[in-house]
Amino acid sequence: MTDVVSVRDLHFSYPDGHAALRGVSFSLCAGDKVALVGPNGAGKSTLMLQLNGILIGRGEIAIGDMRLTRDNLPVIRGMVGLVFQNPDDQLFSPTVFEDVAFGPLHMGLPEAEVFKRVDAALESVRMTSYRDRLSHHLSVGEKKRIAIATVLSMNPSVLILDEPSAGLDPRARRRLINLLRELPITMLVSTHDMKLVEELFPRTIVMDEGLIVADGVTKEILEDETFLNAHGLEKP
């Protein structure tokens, strides 16, 4: 069986010369829920933008059995659902419906299918009644859930989330954790929320200075306090 995501020896430098990724390799199997942790500036966000082809570096990325190239970007972007940290950037349309419809619509799906996708996506984040709401009326927690729906409507094969629990109050955070647990989809989640990591993800990837410094069973990684401290992390 092929991996859902496989990344081999990925390098990337920003135009200002800063080397954000210095040889990153890992893979995700179908159904994996993996945490991506590391201090700010470790390269987590850069890596996520690579997986969707918004930034393109040196190395190899394959989604399913399709290698990411400039030519198949539209297809890849439909397969990799990328949810940004700030829901105000992710939700750029006036209404919830328009935002959730944006992905399927720009994939060129027929209207009837777009409507179906929107309803299914809202259903899976339990926000069906919010279909016609205005985005700016939502709370942060609601915005985060809708943001997830905006990529679920594309039926992606992997979900990539940047800091999903940041800025949420305890109740909204709890709801989001339950949602992530229920969603039957491969996901890679970047976070500083070590409690979330401990609770939800069997596997963790630790990044620092553009490299993967650990990739293994969450429980074992979180046990090693010296290792965590060395990479600016804390035991939950």
Measured from the CB atom, the residue of 27 and 95 that comes closer to another protein is 95
- Contact in structure between 80 and 63 (CB atoms under 8 Å): yes
CB of 197 to another protein, least distance (A): 24
Stretch that binds another protein, among 1-9, 107-115, 206-214, 218-226 (CB under 8 A): 107-115
Nearby residues of 73 by Cβ (< 8 Å), 6 or more positions away: 53
By CB under 8 A, residue 111 contacts another protein: yes
DSSP 97-140: HHHHHHHHHHTT--HHHHHHHHHHHHHHTT-GGGTT-BGGGS-H
Residue 113 vs 224, nearer CB to another protein: 113
Under rule CB under 8 A, residue 91 binds another protein: yes
83 or 206: CB nearest another protein: 83
* CB count in 10 Å sphere of residue 65: 8
Other residues' Cβ atoms within 10 Å of the Cβ of residue 196: 20
CB of 196 to another protein, least distance (A): 23
Q: What is the largest CA-CA distance in the chain?
A: 55
**Taking the complex as a whole, how short is the minimal distance between the CB of residue 46 and another protein, in angstroms?**
12
Q: How far is the CB of 125 from another protein (least distance, A)?
A: 16
Smallest separation, CB 207 to another protein (Å): 20
Q: Which amino acid is at 4?
A: V
Among 102, 176, 186, 197, binds another protein (CB under 8 A): 102
Separation in Å, CA 54 to CA 46, 48, 165: 9, 9, 23
Site for another protein contains 49 (CB under 8 A)? yes
What are the φ/ψ torsions at residue 157 (nearest 5 degrees)?
Answer: -90, -15
> What residues from 137 to 166 belong to the interface with another protein (CB under 8 A)?
137, 150-151, 154
